[in-house]
Amino acid sequence: MTAIPIDEAGRFSGYASVFDVPDDGNDVVMPGAFAKSLGKRDTKRIRMLFQHDPKEPIGRWETIREDGFGLWVEGRLVPGVPRADALRALIERRAIDGLSIGFRTVKATRRNGRRLLHEIDLWEISIVTFPMMDGARIADTDPKTAAAFAAAVSVFRT
């Protein structure tokens, strides 16, 4: 059986952000950037949106944590919400897989034309069509496939 990116209950996971990789805006999220924000704002207060639109809540984040690679997330779409139902079908068919963070910069420095984000106040994580960070993607539900996904995405590191 082939691993799928979303299960029957609408659960999916992936990396919402990857450390030490420049995004399309030349921002680089540094390891530990989310620690304070995650300490003060639990998953219930970090919204799951579609395309960063506050009028488009689509589900809930169940797990948000930093690991050695980036910001790992696990969430579930809410059945019966038309946009969430459509996204479930699109994710299942691999027609959309982007993730993106909505945040306020707390502490940053500049180096070589890039903004290094040392501390981020995380507000929301969206499913998006075109993520600013190419490695911010929904992974397959199979843990072995998800581990292979993380290894493959590591090629984006600087």
- CA 51/CA 127 separation, integer angstroms: 6
Is 52 one of the catalytic residues?
A: yes
Catalytic residue among 52, 56, 62, 74: 52
Per-residue pLDDT of the chain (158 residues; tens, 9 = 90+): 467 899 999 999 999 999 999 999 999 999 999 999 999 988 889 999 999 999 999 999 999 999 999 999 999 999 999 999 999 999 999 999 999 999 999 999 999 999 999 999 999 999 999 999 999 999 975 555 455 555 555 555 44
Asked whether residue 2 is domain-assigned, the answer is no
| 154 catalytic per annotation | no
DSSP string over 93-146 = TTS--EEEEEEEEEEEEEETTEEEEEEEEEEEEEEESS-SSTT-BEEPSSHHHH
Question: How many Cβ atoms are within 10 Å of 121's Cβ, its own excluded?
Answer: 15
Count the domains in the chain: 1
Report the chain's mean pLDDT, rounded to a whole number: 90
pLDDT at 28: 98
Q: Tell me, what's the pLDDT at 3?
A: 76
- What is the H or E stretch that residue 62 is in? strand 53-66
Considering the candidates 13, 17, 37, 124, report the single residue annotated as catalytic: 124
Name the residue among 119, 158, 154 with its Cα closest to residue 139.
154
Q: What is the CATH number of the domain that holds 22?
A: 3.20.16.10
User: Within a domain: residue 1?
Assistant: no
Q: Is 118 a catalytic residue?
A: no
Structural domain for 131, as ranges = 11-153
